[in-house]
Amino acid sequence: MLVTERAGRLRLVDKDGQLGKPIAGVPQAQVAGQGGLLDVAVSPTFAQDRLVYLSYAEPGEGGAGTAVARARLDAGKFNDLQVIWRQVPKVSGPNHWGSRLVFARDGTLFVTTGDRFAHRERAQDLATTIGKVIRINADGSIPQDNPFVKRGGA
């Protein structure tokens, strides 16, 4: 089982409950308030592709935002790390990140984003990714059958 630690570590827990060393190559998370390394999900085809997905608080200009990265897990380290989705613009505030990751049966990935507390009114604005459920393909591209894919400003 893979376990995230908000402080930025990802660890493997074996079947006997033994906690392994931190996995190397995890992206740098902004650890403040409720932010940090937030969720982990393995690819539905992990046995073949070894892909692991992480959500985390990503620092940037203007504050921080939720980001999703994926990498191949091999011998206790990540290889080929790539950010496949990031919240833009970054905003101030250390709370209400959301950041759950769930794969749908069709292989798309749902990412929840919190309202970030101080920006909660923006959750009703389709032009922002604050306070939303985001649906992306496993490579980060946008599915063409998303509900608002053809709506300008969404």
Residue 111's SS3 state is strand
Helix (H) or strand (E) holding 82: strand 77-86
For residues 53 and 107, the answer to whether their CB atoms sit within 8 Å is: no
- What's the fold here for domain 2-136? Neuraminidase (2.120.10)
Give the residue numbers marked as catalytic.
96
Residue type at position 98: G
Stated pTM of the model: 0.92
Predicted confidence at residue 126, as pLDDT, reads 79
Residue-wise pLDDT for 33-62, tens only, equals 888 999 999 999 999 999 999 999 999 898
Local confidence band at 119 (pLDDT 50, 70, 90 cut-offs): confident
Predicted confidence at residue 28, as pLDDT, reads 94
Residue 13's SS3 state is strand
Q: Of 87, 82, 92, give the one whose Cα is nearest residue 32.
A: 92
Predicted confidence at residue 134, as pLDDT, reads 94
Structure tokens at 56: 């985390």
d(Cα 55, Cα 86) in Å, to the nearest integer? 9
Residue type at position 61: E
Report how far apart the first and last C-alpha atoms of the chain are (Å, whole number): 36
Residue 38's SS3 state is strand
Name the residue ranges covered by the structural domains of the chain.
2-136
For residues 57 and 116, the answer to whether their CB atoms sit within 8 Å is: no
| pLDDT value at 98 more than 90 | no
Running DSSP on this structure, what letter comes out for residue 26? P
